């Protein structure tokens, strides 16, 4: 019985290591995040806001890749999430006062970046990785497209 328990524990440990390795290997890159934002922006321009919202909210669609997913908010500053490829529960909710682990109001930073003269850029903060469940440094690329902005974040 001891040997079975020992074998089971070793197997569980090995699985946990392989899961961490897979999670690390599936981390999106900065280039991939920017490319996904550009793809989302092109889709938005070509198909309109309503169709884009539907596409971006589809976790099985073309705007979710590994740990990368598209989200979209208006540039008007109301903080309402229009689309989120990973968490449908926050669509329609005001996220303006959401703070990161390092006390950054990152949605406000997204808005400031999207509404800047450049209309795009990176925002850095600490957030729980939904894959690894660990607190990690995160960097999100946002870009304005008309009266909305699209973002995709990466874990470092």
- Note whether 49 and 10 are within 8 A (CB): no
- pLDDT at position 34 is 98
Q: pTM (2 decimals)?
A: 0.83
Least confident of 2-6, 60-64, 81-85: 2-6
Q: Rounded distance, CA 100 to CA 138, Å?
A: 10
Q: Which domains does the chain have, with CATH numbers?
A: 28-155 (3.30.450.20)
Give 131's pLDDT tier (boundaries 50, 70, 90).
Answer: confident
* 72-116 pLDDT per residue, tens: 999 999 999 999 999 999 999 999 999 999 999 999 999 999 999
Query: Taking each helix axis from N to C terminus, what angle separates 30-47 and 49-56, rounded to the nearest 10 degrees?
Result: 140
Mean pLDDT of 11-17: 38
Tokens of 128: 């729980």
Please, what is the Cα angle at 30 between 136 and 142, to 5 degrees?
90
Examine the pLDDT at 9 and tell me if it is beyond 90. Answer: no
**Going by C-beta distance under 8 Å and a sequence separation of 6 or more, which residues neighbour residue 61?**
55, 85
């Amino acid at each position: 019985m001891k040997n079975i328990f020992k074998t089971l524990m070793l197997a569980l440990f090995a699985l946990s290591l392989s899961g961490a390795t897979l999670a690390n290997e599936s981390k999106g890159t900065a280039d991939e995040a920017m490319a996904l934002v550009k793809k989302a922006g092109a889709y938005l321009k070509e198909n309109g806001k309503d169709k884009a919202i539907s596409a971006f909210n589809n976790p099985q669609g073309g705007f979710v890749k590994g740990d990368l997913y598209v989200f979209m908010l208006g540039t008007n500053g109301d903080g309402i999430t229009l689309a989120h490829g990973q968490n449908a529960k926050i669509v329609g909710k005001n996220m303006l006062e959401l703070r990161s682990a390092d006390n950054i109001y990152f949605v406000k930073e997204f808005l400031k970046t999207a509404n800047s003269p450049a209309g795009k850029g990176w925002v850095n903060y600490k957030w729980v990785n939904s894959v690894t469940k660990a607190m990690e440094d995160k960097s999100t690329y946002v870009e304005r497209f008309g009266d909305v902005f699209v973002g995709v974040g990466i874990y470092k």
